[in-house]
Amino acid sequence: GCCERDFLGKSSSPGAMEIEEVPEASVELDPKVEIVDVYRPEADPELREFYVTIPNFESLNEEKRRSEVHEIAGYKWRLLFFPKGNDKKNYLSLYLECEGPVNTDEQYPIRKWRFPASFKLIVCSQGPESVDIVQETRHIFSHNDTDWGFCDIVSFDILYSENESYIVNGALKLGSSISIENSEEYDSRKETGFNGIKNLGATCYLNSLLQVLFTLGDFRKSVFAMELPTDNDDDKIPFALQKVFYELQNGVTPVKTKRLTKSFGWDSSDAFTQQDLHELNRLLCSHLEEAMKKQNAKNKISELFEGKLVNFIQCVNIDYTSTRDEAFFDLNLTVQGNKTIYESFDRYLEVEMLDGDNKYRAEGYEELQDAKRGVKFSKLPPVLQLHLKRFEFDYVRGINVKINDRLEFPGELDLRDYVEKSSGNEVYSLHSVLVHVGDVHAGHYYVYIRPFAETNQWYKFDDETVTLVSEKEAIDENFGSPTPRKLSNAYMLQYVQQDKAKSLLKKVEAEDVPKALEERILLDAEEEENRRRERDDFHLFMDVAIVREESLLCHNGADLIPWDSAERLDRRLIRKSMLFRELAELVAGHLGLDSHQTLRVWRLCQRQNGTIRPDRLLTSDDEDVPLSKLCGLGSELQLLVQTVPKSEVEAMETDEVMQFFKVFAPKPVPVLACIGSLACNRSATMKHSIQQLAKLKSVPRELVLAVQADNITVFEEDTPQPVKPIDIEKTHDELELGTGDIIVIQLPPSVLLQSLPPSILEKRSTPLHGMREVETASDYFMYLRNRIHVEFRDLQKPAESGIMLELLKTDTYRQTRKALSHALGVGSNPDKIRLYPFDIVANGPRQDSLSLAQLNSRGDSLENMLEMDYRPGGYTTMESKIFWYEYIDYDLEEFENKEEVRITWRYDCGTYIQGASTGIPETKDKWMRTKVLSVLVPFHTSTYEDVTKEMKKKLGIPSEIPIRVVEVKSSYVCRIVPLSELVPHVVHLPSTGAQLDYELRAEPDVLDDVDRHHLGSGEYSWVSVLHIPKGNYLASSGYFGDPFLIPVKVEGEKVGVLRERIRRKVRVKEEEFDNWALFSITVSSTDPLDDVEATWSEGSDEIGSISLAIEHTRRVPPKRTYGLMKYDKPLVIKS
């Protein structure tokens, strides 16, 4: 075996040498020599494994790391991992990498190689309480496909958890075991008659479902029979599925599903996001059912998969029964607590008694009735799909978990006793077992299928590979088992009715595929092959972008056109060897020029200032020049095309320049429009050129009159200044104006420009929501350059969409808040609005707001504010144009030189338990309600008593009520804060990000009536009462809910008395509280308090050194944070 090495290459056996990290493979090959190596494993079939230990794992800063090389079966292997995650940033990414055969001949290196292998990637447990995380897969490694693995093998939450033992003393241990397969030439079609499906990244769940549906012959035929889409609808789901089924039936290589996933509306990130197989099944079948209805086709989905059940409520003491029929397409069966699938059915049909506080009100009866509630099957479908509930929310630990418990299911399932009026055909044969291997955070799907009714032969479909397997492997080995933990188990089962099995699984022959469908698919394949050839010949082509002058005249912004606009810019892929003359003929034909028209073509180029302008006029001298010679330094040839009458075509004189003219008018709404181009003499004044321009028919009449009245202002559009004024009495040479420059003519405010084309006038909009005047061309161009759309969301509803505002990047913090205040409406004071920028880590608001100190140091422009979002490594961007806002009780300026303390007022002292307490705390007065507020107190000199005084003033709490302040962290009262203590210079921030588990709480410091009567005049001390989940009382990380304080006599109290006082304080019914256990918790022990006659005392004056804890079930799942990361996308079929 291999000796273990740590990640620096230090062997655990003596005499090993230290090695450096292995770089990317880079081998210079002799092009004249092609040595092909195909691994033949007949002499070396055993499984091999190796492990590496990575010290100081948490301190690794590299994007990716590789282990040292291990030689196995004559090939070089190592682990590749991403310490900070790869496609999923909150997960460890781990891959097995093969560098190819061990090459001993330097003169003739092996150029091509392939190595098929099944392998496991392992995150090793280093403690007794946790288990190895193991993911298994198969891959054919080759010279151009060297690594394979999992981008989400384990989440960082689990990897770094103190309750697990994956990282010990800073070290992480990883491993891999490689099982060498029998032949790299394995052909699934040849060996089994079935074809595999390529995995697009994490689409194993989709591949497994497609194989299940494909092997249902009756279903496949119904898909083939669906109508073909129109010519431009090839990406619709039915046709994409027809194509996949056709290729599975006739293809000889693994099928690609990219067209199908595209029809779902998915992008590449969706392909790398593993989703739930059961959910996908329902979505896909639902879409097919809708498509069949639109085509007026037979609803095969309902015919095959729909069953019927009856929901009933039957009164016990009166003759009354209420029923409701319901259709189902699959059944969700409970795994936990059941040994067999029959027990799961019994649980599903279990009758619930409605009695006590849960009695039923029967129609026509005033008195509540004892009743039975349940469901009965009235009809089971021909194809029965059973979803085994292996993923559930654990209310004890507050997390989602996978249930690996053993659940046995038979090859023959007799459900006749479960149907109310059995027809006798409810006996089923197992058709497929869909398996999930892994845990709730990461895993892999594959499926076992018995595709033929006549035989009992099972097949395993695992992405590209299809193999023959035994019935034992398909059924018995997928029951599951929690100890030892078996992570591969059945997740979905599909049964078919025995008396219909032959028709349901009937083989689909070639003649069952409609001729029109086959022709369409073959045509589609031919077009795909043509596209492939085009890609191969891509180097022979170049991009040519053509702009028509008409597009310039429709543009109402800066520059000639928006150069990223597909609508204005006609981009084509043209062969580089094409002559300019040939291109001109193509363009003329495309534009439909008549015999009286011709083209004038200008080459465009990018200037040093980044603008794109006409460079020179292409003439007859360029007719026989290849396009590749015309494109200059860039890879794209850009051309401006003008259509002109042949009678007006004149060669440009050497002393002429072509310039573009725009008109700007501030009233009634600011508008900017290009009105044409003009050949101007270099020695002519700008005033003369404008007078010549005014003679053109396309010029608006308002401009003509303004020119005649000499009532215009003229600018040159330029960079870095958007526009600069020019003296129209100077010549073009004196103004240094050349071909392609843009002249802007501004009309006075008194002139209302109305004679522009409707396409321009319709695009007018009031800049900046009308909050600021735009009166000059300079103003308007500054607006165009700096405008930005920013979304503002309410901090109290951080995940919801907010208000979208148009602002300027140059706007100050005050201008930004003023615009937001104006948009929010009446009563919004900009001085009492605070903004929080974006935090990419939380994918939500940053933990702290923008402060005046930050703005003063970095500049308070909106552009700078948007760059104050938090990003790892200090990287900032303006991509996330989002702010969160909140209303504050103080003007923002008051925060300077003062400490902000975020404190929660709890009149109920934290004793209300959601879902368990029988009443909501009394809230007659507003000040009695729970409230989170900010309090400002001066730096350095303020105490917590000052905080409570300010809080009383803000909430209207009567001055005579004494206040107690406590610190709560992770649902645990850390301490009672002395009111005389100085407030530290640490901002108590809103409950976001890292502060989610911290709370500063204020509450009445008084004894309630029960406590006062019980304690009398004796001495007492305050003891913290925690909430701990059932079965997990030893884990401090499991505390939940709001802790509270209870006074306990110094000399001690009987446990039974304590229990009753706690029950009354939290207002829980006696019959429920009897099921709650009470514990005494110290740093070193957790002891149950079962003896109600025993005396318990705190024995310490320090709050938190000993606590009481009540053990009960968490009623409400923990709130999900609003930071929904990009990879947590819900499963959606969008088309």
Nearest to 602 by CA among 631, 642, 651, 565: 642
pLDDT of residue 21: 34
Quick check: 204 and 273 in contact, CB under 8 A? Answer: no
Total residue count of the chain as it appears in this document: 1135
pLDDT of residue 202: 79
Which residue range(s) make up the domain with 285? Answer: 188-302+510-534
Backbone angles phi, psi at 433, to 5 degrees: -125, 105
Q: 1118 lies in a domain?
A: no
164 and 233 both lie in a single domain: no
The amino acid occupying position 777 is: A
Cβ count within 10 A of residue 1084:
5
Cβ count within 10 A of residue 375:
16
**Predicted confidence (pLDDT) per residue in 198-237, tens digit:** 988 778 889 999 999 999 999 999 999 988 887 656 558 8
Quick check: 1001 and 903 in contact, CB under 8 A? Answer: yes
pLDDT of residue 555: 83
Taking the C-alpha atoms of residue 614 and residue 190, their distance in angstroms, rounded to an integer, is: 62
Q: Which residues of 837-849 are buried (b: 16+ CB within 10 A; e: fewer)?
A: bbbbbbbbbbbbb
936 and 1033 both lie in a single domain: yes
Taking the C-alpha atoms of residue 462 and residue 446, their distance in angstroms, rounded to an integer, is: 5
Which residue is listed with tokens 């409810």? 426
1105 and 963 both lie in a single domain: yes
What's the half-sphere exposure (Cβ side, CA atoms, 13 Å) at 56?
A: 5
151 and 272 both lie in a single domain: no
> Which tokens is 163 given?
């309750």
Q: 869 lies in a domain?
A: yes
Sheet with 352-354, edge to edge strand ranges: 321-328, 307-315, 371-379, 352-354
340 and 292 both lie in a single domain: no
Domain count, the chain: 7
pLDDT of residue 820: 92
CATH number at residue 573: 3.10.20.90
Q: 1130 lies in a domain?
A: no
> Which tokens is 907 given?
């009149």
913 and 979 both lie in a single domain: yes
The amino acid occupying position 1048 is: V
Q: 254 lies in a domain?
A: yes
* CA 1001 to the chain's CA centroid: 35
Taking the C-alpha atoms of residue 134 and residue 85, their distance in angstroms, rounded to an integer, is: 17
Q: Which residues of 898-912 are buried (b: 16+ CB within 10 A; e: fewer)?
A: ebbbbbbbbbbbbbb
Taking the C-alpha atoms of residue 385 and residue 331, their distance in angstroms, rounded to an integer, is: 7
Taking the C-alpha atoms of residue 776 and residue 774, their distance in angstroms, rounded to an integer, is: 6
933 and 1072 both lie in a single domain: yes
665 and 575 both lie in a single domain: no
What is the helix (H) or strand (E) element at residue 244, kind and residue range?
A: helix 237-250
Mean pLDDT per 10-residue section of the chain, whose length is 1135 residues: 32 30 32 40 58 91 90 88 83 92 62 82 83 85 88 87 86 89 70 90 88 94 88 73 93 89 76 71 86 82 92 93 90 91 94 84 87 93 94 62 89 94 90 88 87 93 90 91 69 94 92 91 87 82 89 84 76 89 90 86 87 88 90 80 80 85 90 90 94 88 90 87 89 93 92 82 80 87 90 86 90 90 80 84 77 75 76 40 85 75 90 76 68 83 92 91 91 90 65 57 89 83 88 57 92 91 90 87 80 83 74 62 40 57
* DSSP character string of 805-870: EEEETT--HHHHHHHHHHHH-TT--GGGEEEE-EETTTTEE-SS---HHHHHHH---HHHHHTTSB
Q: 282 lies in a domain?
A: yes
The CA-based diameter of the chain, rounded to the nearest angstrom, is 115
CATH number at residue 330: 3.90.70.10
Which residues on neighbouring strands pair with residue 664, listed in sequence order? 672, 746
Quick check: 445 and 455 in contact, CB under 8 A? Answer: no
Backbone angles phi, psi at 1051, to 5 degrees: -80, -5
Distances (CA, A) of 13 to 3, 9, 16, 54: 7, 11, 7, 17
pLDDT of residue 386: 95
891 and 907 both lie in a single domain: no
334 and 436 both lie in a single domain: yes
pLDDT of residue 850: 82
Taking the C-alpha atoms of residue 672 and residue 763, their distance in angstroms, rounded to an integer, is: 10
Cβ count within 10 A of residue 433:
25
Q: 1044 lies in a domain?
A: yes
526 and 550 both lie in a single domain: no
pLDDT of residue 985: 66
Taking the C-alpha atoms of residue 806 and residue 800, their distance in angstroms, rounded to an integer, is: 19
Helix (H, G, I), strand (E, B) or coil at 41: helix
Quick check: 876 and 915 in contact, CB under 8 A? Answer: no
Q: 212 lies in a domain?
A: yes
Q: Which of 732, 765, 798 is the last residue of a domain?
A: 765
**Predicted confidence (pLDDT) per residue in 289-343, tens digit:** 888 888 877 788 999 999 999 999 999 999 999 998 889 999 999 998 899 999 9
Helix (H, G, I), strand (E, B) or coil at 229: coil
Quick check: 542 and 631 in contact, CB under 8 A? Answer: yes
Quick check: 883 and 794 in contact, CB under 8 A? Answer: no
Nearest to 744 by CA among 548, 592, 560: 560
881 and 908 both lie in a single domain: no
CATH number at residue 116: 2.60.210.10
Quick check: 306 and 328 in contact, CB under 8 A? Answer: yes
Q: Which long-range contacts (CB under 8 A, 24 or more apart) does 926-930 make?
A: 926/955, 926/956, 927/955, 927/956, 927/957, 927/958, 930/904, 930/905, 930/906
Q: Which of 869, 895, 921 is the last residue of a domain?
A: 895
Quick check: 1000 and 902 in contact, CB under 8 A? Answer: yes
Quick check: 973 and 1108 in contact, CB under 8 A? Answer: no
Q: Which of 736, 765, 794 is the last residue of a domain?
A: 765
Q: 1119 lies in a domain?
A: no
* Residues 12/13/14/19 CA torsion (nearest 10 deg): -60
Taking the C-alpha atoms of residue 852 and residue 849, their distance in angstroms, rounded to an integer, is: 10
Taking the C-alpha atoms of residue 1046 and residue 381, their distance in angstroms, rounded to an integer, is: 59
The amino acid occupying position 694 is: A
| Model confidence pTM above 0.75 | no
Taking the C-alpha atoms of residue 335 and residue 583, their distance in angstroms, rounded to an integer, is: 69
